[in-house]
Structure 1
Amino acid sequence: MKYLPIDKELFTYNRNNFFLRLKPRSLAIFHSNDEFPRSGDQSFIFKQNADFFYLTGIDQEQSILLLFPDCPNPLYREVLFLRQTSELIAIWEGHKYTKEEAQAASGIKTIFWLDNFDNILHSIIHYAENIYINTNENDRYVPGVEYRDLRMFKQLKERYPLHNYLRAATIMRDLRVVKSDIEVELTKKACSITRDAFVRVLKFVKPGVAEYEIEAEIIHEFLRQRATGHAYNPIIASGSNANVLHYIDNNQVCKDGDVILFDFGAEYANYNADMSRSIPVNGRFTPRQKAVYNAVLNVMREATKLLQAGTIWNEYHDEVGKIMTSELIGLGLLDKTDVKNQDPTAPLYKKYFMHGTSHHLGIDVHDFASRYKPFEAGNILTCEPGIYIQQEGLGIRIENNILITDGGNIDLMADIPVEADHIEDIMNS
């Protein structure tokens, strides 16, 4: 891992909160993510299962967490199983956790090698009534490949069919959405690295530069500051490319007079930033580009005010839609009479702003959370309105990351240039 060590108290705190929500005589099992093949003899870079990392701080493949707070044998109430290293593994793959290092990272005292898992589980599972299984229940996820937790669950159910199997995800959904102080600081670090990459880009962009050259500047700054890399595939969309919401080709030349829409963020210690900005290739917005830019900025600022504890998801997005409609009328893109007569189930603003305004942010970029639970203190959400005008070859999106607190909200990206004039000043300095 490139990032600096994280205080193990975070993971001890997370496990204790998980314990409090378990039914009596319950055992829970969490697996690390699979290693996915990239080619005939290579795997993709390993990415840890978010729930497993949340509870352990262990960033390594082939690992299992077993939690059984009511276990009659205290030794097995928290157990971490790791892949045992060897001289061969050390030569070909590098260093793996020692037991002592895993204890220091996770706060878990009982560490065994992976080949002890079946025997230890069998020796204690009959003293449990309930077994919590971890599954991916993020409603943005559509499974196409059976993942490790599901495969292991099938084996477990065959061996121990009479236990009561429960979903760990219902607990994790409530826990992960509320960020602790340490999690907030890790997110701030990801935002800080993202800021520096953006400022670097502002000083680099000029007519004739390629989108992929800009991408190279971004990843240079990320890695230089110990980020793992991109939180997600970066979008560097110049001109009409900005009207493709998930444009990631990043292979075109940026032309004089166009605007570039950026959507990128750093991943640091598995926590993510998610930023969008739009800048003029030549360092100066045209009057029309600036008008659209300022309209989006106004929507973002008004929407940010609505991100408060107690706000309801659907009501929030409805209110943002009204704000956006007003701005689109001001830009001459919508007609007041047409808006008055519109079908409320298909509002006209969706022609120019077709995606949601916010999503939860955390270990997952689109973090695990309920769409039906009011926002609460400790939530971190994006705020990312946009206006996309295909006939003008123009797309503008502005996005910051907002922490909700009991005293209001805090913009974690408040120090990232966002005013049109400020962006122009930096580009022309």
Structure 2
Amino acid sequence: MGQHTIKVPDVGEGIAEVELAEWHVAVGDLVREDQVLAAVMTDKATVEIPSPSDGKVLWLGAEEGDKMAVGAALIRLEVAGGGNTEAAAELAPEPVSESGPVTKPEARAETPQAEEVPKPARATPREDAAPPKTGAFLPRPEGEKPMAAPSVRARAREAGVDLRRVAGSGPAGRITHEDLDRLEVAPDTLAPAAGYQRNTAQEEIKVIGLRRKIAERMAEAHARIAPITYVEEVDMSALEELRERLNKTRREEQPKLTLLPFLMRAMVRAIAEQPRLNAHYDDEAGVILQSGGVHIGIAAQTGAGLMVPVVRHAEARDLWGCAAELNRVSAAAKAGHAAREELSGSTITITSLGALGGIVSTPIINRPEVAIIGVNKMAVRPVWDGSAFVPRKMMNLSSSFDHRVVDGWDAAVFVQKIKSLLETPALIFIEG
């Protein structure tokens, strides 16, 4: 029998480091050729690593969440034949994670236990010792009323603290705010209401995989972009009427229309007048990379976390084409089957939570893009038409722009153009 070491593969695009997202096997498992052993994640995609042959797992080179260099030893198998590892008994290099070396249970040596030194006996407090004045709980004599200011009593009531059991440090034993500040809450401090129980459980959840990528990208965008958020309300009544009519008369092969394809087409028209908002800003090189193609990212919540599938070349798609491609890439992202190119390359992004969209939001720009359009929830509101209040379907757009390269005036003109197209949806279909 020999040993075969599998290394972190080169996933292309100049990537030198990956994150171990998930193990599919454990030490001692028997694996078959082409069975998935692990999944590694780059900034753009998750890559599965298959087994090159049948074998038995001898060693794992990292823990989930660790970052590994391309070419580093990932896993070692016992295989039939000579394998690719010269010395079968040779231990693999010690894997290194962000928090230090990964301990391998099989390599751990027994450490002799130091002789236990007897602990000194704990001193017993004298019964006649003076009561501590640090907010400790001490029962008062029957019927003795604690002295405290009304504000202290109100604060104690809100916290559920029984002042009769609090030692005061003020004059004549008066209980002060400082006594409550210093109070170390004992298990019986807060008497739970009938039928309620305290929950003291605490779970440590390691931030790895897609969740860590999202955290890193959001933190980087927040730290490096100077955003401006512009909010405008839009009367969606005419568009909703048109959308319902088109859905009732659509052909069987045509997808059902939501608001987003209309918004995408409106953005294409607005970008034609302000192409600099369809761009990336390379702040290190000091260059704006303006794109001719309108590649719209759609922020989508999936079981694995936030992803941004991309509808490429929206400028070359009609309303139904935008809807069909949106459905396709969104379904692929939610199922976890989206290709790398379907999750990257957007030039401007839409973020929408549908009915949960709230009234106003402050979306974070998908760096290095310079604009993101946020869709808030739609609701029927009374609107003054000049003579009376009438019910209208209203919706807010909350949009953020990179203020380093987009002026407030340009941001407002862009949103107002989208607003006029959505409020008069026939204009979306008029070219020129």
Fold in common (TM above 0.5)? no
When Rg is computed on C-alpha atoms for both structures, the one with the higher figure is 2
Q: Which of structures 1 and 2 has the larger relative contact order (alpha carbons within 8 angstroms, sep 6+)? A: 1
TM-score by length of 2: 0.24
Structure with more helix by fraction: 1
TM-score by length of 1: 0.24
